[in-house]
Structure 1
Amino acid sequence: MLDEQALLEALNSTPVVDGRPQDLWADDAVLRRWARKHGGPGDAPAIDWLRTARDVLQTATHGPVPETDLRRILSGVYRLPEIGASDLRWPLHGPPERMLAVELVLAWYDVQERRPGRLRPCCNDECRLFLLDRSRANTARWCSMKTCGNRLKVRRHQERARQAPGT
C-alpha cells in the first residue's frame, strides 16, 4: 500500500518552476520509474491510470471530490480475505493496470480519515504544490517556509512599505 510520502510525491508532480507550470509525470520514463519504485507495473495503461488518479486527487484536494471520476478508477476493485498460518490479510483485487492508481486513491482517503483537514494546497496562489500539515496546531500554510512562505512574507512586507505614509 502506498504511504503519505508517495501520495505527496504524486500530488506534487506538477510544480511551478521558474514561473512555468511543469508536469514531471508527462515523461513516461519518469512515471514508469515512480510506478516501479512503488511496486507497480510500468506499462502504458498503468501509467495512464496513475496520471488520471493524480489529476483527480489534485482536484479533490482543492475542492469538491469528483465522485464520478473516483468511481471509474475504483470500479471492479474488491478485497478478499486470505488466511495464513498466523494472520488474516485483505489484499486488493482488480484490473492490474489500475491497482497502483487504486492504491494512490486509497492512500488519499486514508490521509483524509486519519488526518482530516491536514492535506491541502499551498497558500501561495502561484504554487501548485500540496502539503501535509504535521504540526500540532494545524497551522502550516505553505509547502515550504523556505520558498513560498518567505517569498510571500517578503512580498507582503514590500507592499506595506510602499503603502506606508511618507515613503
Structure 2
Amino acid sequence: MIDEQALLEALNSTPVVDGRPRDLWADDAALRRWARKHGGADGAPALDWLRTARGALQTATHGPVPEADLQRILTGAHRVPEAVASELRWRLCGPPERMLAVELVLAWYDVQERRPGRLRPCGNDECRLFLLDRSRANTARWCSMKTCGNRLKARRHQERARQEPGA
C-alpha cells in the first residue's frame, strides 16, 4: 500500500548526488524490491508504469498537472465496496501491472486534498528532492535542513560578507 512515506520515496528517487542527477529506479532490481515492499507487481510492465507515474507526479508537484498522463495511468481502475464484519471497505481493482502506479497517483491526490500546498519541491534549485511540510506554520523550505538548508544559508552568508564594505 502506498502511504505518504512511500509517495515521498517514489518522488525522491531521482536525487542529485555529488552534483550529478541519479535515478534510483533505473536499476530494475531496486525498483522490483520497492514494488514488492509496497505489495505491487514487479514484472517489466509494472516497473514501466511505476516510472511513468513517478515522472508525471514529479511534474505535477513542480507545476501544472499532466492530466492526460495521469488519466492514462488511472484508466480501468475502480473501487469495489466490500462488507467485512461490521465495516465497509473499498477494494481497488484494475489492470494488475498498473495497480501500484494507480495507488501512487491516488496517494498523491490524497496528499493534495488533505494537506494542500504542503507537498512541494525543495527550495534549493540544485536539489531534485521533494518535501512534505508537516510543520504547524507550513514554512519548511528544504528537503533537509542538514544538507540543503545549511548549504543555502552558508552561501547567502558568504555573499553578504563579500558585499559588505571593508570585506
- Using structure 2 for the length normalisation, give the TM-score: 0.98
Cα distance in structure 1, aligned partners of 2:158 and 2:87:
61
| Per-residue deviation, 1:104 | 0.3
Tell me, which stretches of 5 or more residues in structure 1 are unaligned? none
| 1:138 equivalent in structure 2 | 138
For residues 16-63 of structure 1, give each alpha carbon's deviation from its aligned partner in whole angstroms, at most 9, with x where no partner exists. Answer: 000000000000000000000000111100011000000000000000
| Per-residue deviation, 1:82 | 1.5
| 1:20 equivalent in structure 2 | 20
Q: In structure 2, what residue type is equivalent to 1:125?
A: D
Cα distance in structure 2, aligned partners of 1:62 and 1:26:
21
Alignment of 1:124-163 (within 5 A): 124-163=124-163
Where has structure 1 moved over 3 Å in runs of 4 or more?
Answer: none
Cα distance in structure 2, aligned partners of 1:4 and 1:90:
19
| 1:121 equivalent in structure 2 | 121
Give the aligned CA root-mean-square deviation in angstroms.
0.7
- Identify the range of structure 1 (30-39 vs 75-84) with the bigger mean alpha-carbon deviation: 75-84
Helix, strand or coil for the counterpart of 1:61?
A: helix
| 1:50 equivalent in structure 2 | 50
Aligned length: 167
Helix, strand or coil for the counterpart of 2:160?
A: helix
Q: Kindly, what percent of the aligned residue pairs are identical?
A: 86
| Per-residue deviation, 1:80 | 1.4
For residues 119-147 of structure 1, give each alpha carbon's deviation from its aligned partner in whole angstroms, at most 9, with x where no partner exists. Answer: 00000000000000000000000000000
Cα distance in structure 2, aligned partners of 1:35 and 1:4:
15
Helix, strand or coil for the counterpart of 2:162?
A: helix
| Per-residue deviation, 1:81 | 1.1
Cα distance in structure 1, aligned partners of 2:155 and 2:83:
59
Cα distance in structure 2, aligned partners of 1:146 and 1:37:
28
For residues 57-82 of structure 1, give each alpha carbon's deviation from its aligned partner in whole angstroms, at most 9, with x where no partner exists. Answer: 00000001000000000001111111
Cα distance in structure 1, aligned partners of 2:85 and 2:163:
72
- Identify the range of structure 1 (81-90 vs 147-156) with the bigger mean alpha-carbon deviation: 81-90
Cα distance in structure 2, aligned partners of 1:85 and 1:110:
26
Helix, strand or coil for the counterpart of 2:157?
A: helix
Q: In structure 1, what residue type is equivalent to 2:23?
A: D
| Per-residue deviation, 1:87 | 1.9
